[in-house]
């Protein structure tokens, strides 16, 4: 499985989100053969909708799937609680994580549930998110549900 090429799809979504002034998290859902099922990005800012994360957007774009155990969710950033809950709810088998430096997420909680986690530690993902956090810290803290005032 070529996780680097799969991550490139998610990264292109993150970059598009950044260019739109949004939170640069992109994601894509693939089947067991590496075929793209859906792709998306965080559109909290663009659509004024805090429920559209990269992962949920890609998940919804993929439409109904009968089984998620053999699916691969690729995301540029370690999933938040909301998206981690989605992964566990639907038993998504594999999650490819672009980076967990800027946000460590809850990867152990996913691993404990038997999710196969592939950490890419990708320099482009790290740099894009770091740039966003430096430029728009208040939007970032809003996105992760934390107050920036402390």
Interacting residues toward Zn ion by CB under 5 A: 53, 80, 82-83
- Inter-residue long-range contacts of 136-140, CB under 8 Å, 24+ positions, other chains counted: 139/23, 139/44, 139/45, 140/23
Q: Which residue has the tokens 């460590």?
A: 104
20: annotated active-site residue: no
CB of 75 to Zn ion, least distance (A): 8
Catalytic member of 13, 20, 55, 119: 55
- C-alpha angle 93-50-141 in degrees, rounded to nearest 5: 95
CB of 8 to Zn ion, least distance (A): 20
CB of 89 to Zn ion, least distance (A): 13
Total length of the chain: 150
Nearer to Zn ion (CB atom), residue 1 or residue 119: 119
Nearer to Zn ion (CB atom), residue 32 or residue 108: 108
Question: How many CA atoms lie less than 13 Å away from 88 in the CB half-sphere?
Answer: 16
**CA gap 130, 137 in Å, rounded:** 10
Nearer to Zn ion (CB atom), residue 82 or residue 131: 82
Nearer to Zn ion (CB atom), residue 43 or residue 53: 53
For the stretch 101-113, what's the b/e string if a residue is b when 16 or more beta carbons lie within 10 angstroms of its beta carbon?
Answer: ebbebbbeebeee
CB of 54 to Zn ion, least distance (A): 7
Please give the positions annotated as active site: 55
């Amino acid at each position: 499985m070529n996780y680097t090429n799969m991550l490139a799809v998610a990264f292109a979504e993150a970059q598009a989100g950044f260019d739109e002034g949004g939170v640069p998290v992109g994601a894509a859902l693939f089947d067991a053969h590496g075929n793209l099922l859906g792709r998306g990005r965080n559109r909290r800012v663009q659509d004024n909708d805090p429920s559209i994360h990269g992962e949920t957007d890609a998940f919804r774009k993929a439409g109904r799937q009968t089984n998620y155990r053999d699916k691969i969710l690729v995301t540029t950033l370690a999933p938040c609680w909301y998206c981690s809950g989605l992964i566990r709810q639907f038993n998504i088998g594999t999650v490819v994580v672009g980076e967990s430096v800027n946000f460590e997420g809850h990867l152990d909680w996913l691993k404990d549930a038997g999710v196969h986690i592939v950490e890419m530690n990708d320099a482009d993902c790290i740099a894009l998110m770091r740039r966003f956090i430096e430029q728009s810290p208040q939007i970032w803290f809003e996105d992760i549900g934390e107050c920036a005032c402390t």
